[in-house]
Structure 1
Amino acid sequence: MKKDNLLKINLQFFGGTGSTLFELKQNMATIGQQLQKVEGELATKAIDTTATMEDIKALQTSKADLQMRFNVIKEQHDQMEAEQKAKFEGNQGITGIEDPKQKVTSAKAELIRATIRQQPVPNDVKAALGDRNNTGGEKLLPTTMTNELLMEPLVKNPLREISVFTNLMNLEVPKISFQLDDDDFIADTDTAKELKVTGDVVKFGRNKFKVFAPVSETVIRGTDVNLVQSVERALESGLAAKEKKVAFTKTPKVGEEHMSFYQTGDSAIKKVSGADIYEAIVNALADLHEDYRENAKIVMNYADYTKVVKFLNNGNSTYFAAPPESVWGKPVKFIDAASEPIVGDFSYSHFNYDLDVLYERDKNVRTGIEDFVLTAYMDHQIKLKSAFRIAEVETPIEGA
């Protein structure tokens, strides 16, 4: 290759440190053409028996030199192009994202990052998430995130599949769904007595609790999808854990006694006993009034169920292969927190999230991990105690 051509390329290359993206594209094109030309000459020389080895080696050296220069400029070009693209997309915000699902995910990620870094949430983020706050001064979780966290079924809490869940302020609901002009229409005497004592309307309260989602700086700086999944998974798990805890605890906090199926005293759910778990559940189902038995379900822990299956099998594996519904003829939900089986119509188990869900940040000074904090107000009302029975075991199954 002539020296003046190499000098021209060198000047273009070393003058490109402050080059624009267009100039880098021109430099790539120029060196690419020269590289293509040298490759052609090298191929021709290789099959030319009159060409000396010195000529071939010179062309090989030129090719390697050009290839190296091309790679360096291409790397610089690609980096600059990526930076400009990122800057352009950043200036556009989430408005430049066309895919609705991706836009929501990016908006959630921006809200989380802004909260953790104590920065204002951009208006386009609020709009994408259906923010109900027009003042901009409150920390209300936008509609999209609230609905998904509170109202979407969560696999980790089977009660979500059978109980009622709402998100309504100052909720009051009737205990029974219909009335007649004759007060004596209620056939179940237990229900009639309960309504007489407690009234026919349930008023939901506000029990405040917080869920903390730890977020490391690595996750905050990571992809939108990973950040949103990490935070939402933690929040969903926290909500599910709180719901199960208040519903099945035998040592409730003061003011939360009414939320437990195992509450004691005058408001306790009736217990029906049996010689073993299987018989206790059978007796509990039979003790329910037909209005509740028709839609009854069984909530129990899996350890108790395996005892029943082991007892019923009596040396064979028939019930191990059968679905749980075949044992009692009613759907079964497994929740380990259910220390005693609960039988009843779970449409009378009602969870309500009152007020708007709030969000804020907190920092663990010991670990340096940031927390995305969700504050919610929840109440669980067992609208009719007479719609449920607790299966109590008199004598444990032998060998259990």
Structure 2
Amino acid sequence: MNFYQIKKNAMDMGDELRQANEKLNEMLANPQVETADITAQQKVVDSAQERYNVAKKQMDKAEAEEKANLKPDKNAVQMTPEQKKDKAFAELVRKTMAKEAVSNDIYQALGDDDTTGGNKFLPKTVSTNIITAPAENNPLRDISTVTQIPNLEIPRLSFTLDDDGFIQDKDTAKEIEAKGDTVAFSRNKFKVMVGMSETVLLGSDASLTSYVNQGLQNGVTVKERSVAFNPAPTKEAEKHMSFYDPSNNIKTVTGADLYEAITNAIADLHEAYRENATVVMSYKDYLKIIRTLANGSATLYGAQPSEVLGKPVVFTDAAVKPIVGDFSYSQYNYDINTLYDQDKDVKTGINYFVVTAWMDHQIKLANAFRIADVASK
């Protein structure tokens, strides 16, 4: 057995001992339980305690040998910085799953020296990878802003003059007057759970690191996409994050068909936003437009979407209605105070590495966007 298998065996023995003790306490609290049954359960507890003690000694011995093997060897092949990070992150995951404390050495190897002494946050290197390099696609990442700043407050406009008379778009002026000239990002908690089998957990450092990072990246990205394009948010704290929620007062522009609705929406934007506008829509809706415009001709099918609609186009099935606007006024912000934990599904035996994060999506100016829709007949 390798070190991690020995450690898992000790953990299993510990769980068995805990369950036996809990059952004994329940029996003691029940006056209807016979004394003979209590005596029998006490023997079960004693047996579990002896087995745990032996397993714990084996684990302590194996851990001591593991630490001894980690001492520098002059003849050993030196690990690359990437291999060191993989090893450190794999240790972070395994210690979390084993409910053990993560040492400062691991944080330092991952680029976080924890100088405050109170850090329970995924180390900076890992956090940066998860937030900035996802595999799942959130199209807003390429056109929106993504930051990681605690208690972030920013101005609604990127610049100001000594008076607000320079704002030619009167609707924008009214919005700033109503909402204030700064945007304060809030902390909205969500969890990402990466399920893994024991073979993954006991596998190589590189495989474990890649597997967990991929799962965390995908979970974070799907959350970003879902809150921004939720057609009917039910959570009060997430309503301001959705382009479609009525509370954000994003204007809907209609047309006889989808093509006319989108072009009308582009034209309806003030020139300050129209210059940098992007169309975010589903590919299914785009094909409807092409079929209508092509009228049996194949010419348009080879044209770039930006040539057809006159503005850059980004596709996502999450966009139930096309959104047109300057997406520099859409911003995600993460609070760095991320926590990690572990859980286990006792029915399937799958272990979960759980990350609790805090994120907010702010639509800094509603007047920078329009929703395109077909006029009802």
Q: Tell me if 1:303 matches 2:284.
A: yes
Shift of 1:153: 5.4
C-alpha contact (below 8 Å) 1:132/1:143 kept by paired residues: no
Deviation at 1:117, TM superposition (A): 1.6
1:248 to 225, 229, 232: 229
Alpha-carbon deviation of 1:303? 0.8
Q: CA deviation at 1:209?
A: 0.6
- Contact 1:133 1:140 survives alignment (8 Å): no
- CA–CA separation in structure 2 for the residues paired with 1:237 and 1:325: 28
Instruction: Look up the match of 2:219.
Output: 238
If the length of structure 2 is used for normalisation, what is the TM-score?
Answer: 0.78
The letter for the 2-side match of 1:262 is Y
- Distance of aligned partners of 1:111 and 1:96 in 2 relative to their CA distance in 1, 3 Å threshold: farther
Distance 1:139 1:96, change over 3 A: farther
Rg comparison, structure with higher value: 1
Aligned residue in 2 for 1:340: 321
User: Residue 186 of structure 2: SS of its match in structure 1?
Assistant: coil
**1:356 aligns to what?**
337
Alpha-carbon separation, structure 2, partners of 1:310 and 1:363: 50
User: 2:267 pairs with 263, 282, 286, which one?
Assistant: 286
Separation in 1, partners of 2:72, 2:139: 42
| 1:328 alignment partner in structure 2 | 309
SS of alignment partner, residue 330 of structure 1? coil
Secondary structure of the structure 2 residue equivalent to 1:315: coil
SS at match of 2:236: coil
Output one character per residue of 1:10-35: Cα deviation in whole Å (capped at 9) or x when no partner.
xxxxxxxxxxxxxxxxxxxxxxxxxx
Say if 1:153 and 1:162 are closer, same or farther in 2 by CA, change over 3 A.
Answer: farther
Task: Give the letter for the 2:329 counterpart.
Answer: Y
Indicate the residue corresponding to 1:115 in structure 2: 96
* 2:299 maps to 1:318: yes
Q: Partners of 1:120 and 1:384 in 2: how far apart? A: 44
Task: From 235, 238, 241, give the equivalent of 1:259.
Answer: 241
- In the alignment, is the contact (CA less than 8 A) between 1:343 and 1:391 conserved in 2? yes
| Separation in 2, partners of 1:301, 1:88 | 57
Match of 2:19?
none
Please state how far the C-alpha of 1:225 moved relative to its aligned partner: 1.9
Q: Which amino acid aligns with 1:156?
A: N
Q: CA deviation at 1:184?
A: 1.0
Give 1:171's match in structure 2, choosing from 112, 136, 152: 152
- Residue-by-residue CA offset, 1:179-199 (whole Å, 9 max, x unaligned): 112321101111011111111
Aligned equivalents of 1:171, 1:149: Cα separation in 2 = 20
For 1:282 and 1:150, the matched residues in 2 are separated by 34
Equivalent AA in structure 2 for residue 209 of structure 1? F
Structure-1 residue corresponding to 2:364: 383
Structure 1 gap segments, 5+ residues each? 1-85
Moved more, 252-261 or 111-120: 111-120
3-state secondary structure, aligned to 1:358? strand
Which amino acid counterpart does residue 389 of structure 1 have in structure 2? Answer: R
Structure 1 contact 271–389 (Cα < 8 Å) conserved: yes
Q: Which amino acid aligns with 1:264?
A: P
Aligned to 2:204: 223
Deviation at 1:92, TM superposition (A): 4.3
The corresponding residue for 2:57 is none
Partner in structure 2 of residue 130 of structure 1: 111
Aligned equivalent of 1:183 = 164
* d(CA) in 2 for partners of 1:129, 1:315: 58
* In 2: Cα distance, 1:135 partner to 1:177 partner: 33
Structure-2 separation of matches of 1:391 and 1:196: 26
1:67-82 matched pairs, under 5 angstroms: none
Aligned partner of residue 162 in structure 2, secondary structure: coil
Distance (whole Å) between structure 2 residues aligned to residue 248 and residue 276 of structure 1: 22
Which segments of 5 or more consecutive residues in structure 2 lack a partner in the other structure? Answer: 1-65
Aligned partners of 2:69, 2:268: CA distance in 1, in Å?
A: 65
Matches within 5 A, 1:49-68: none
Provide Cα deviations, 1:334-369, integer angstroms capped at 9, x if missing partner. 111110000000000011012421111111121111
CA distance in 2, matches of 1:136, 1:184: 49
Tell me how far 1:138 sits from its aligned partner: 4.7
Aligned-residue CA RMSD in angstroms?
2.2
Which residue does the alignment assign to 2:194?
Answer: 213
Output the amino acid matched with 1:260: S
Question: Would you say the 8 A contact 1:153–1:160 is kept in 2?
Answer: no
Residue 23 of structure 2 corresponds to none
Aligned to 2:56: none
CA positional deviation for 1:395? 5.5
- How far apart are the structure 1 equivalents of 2:68 and 2:80? 17
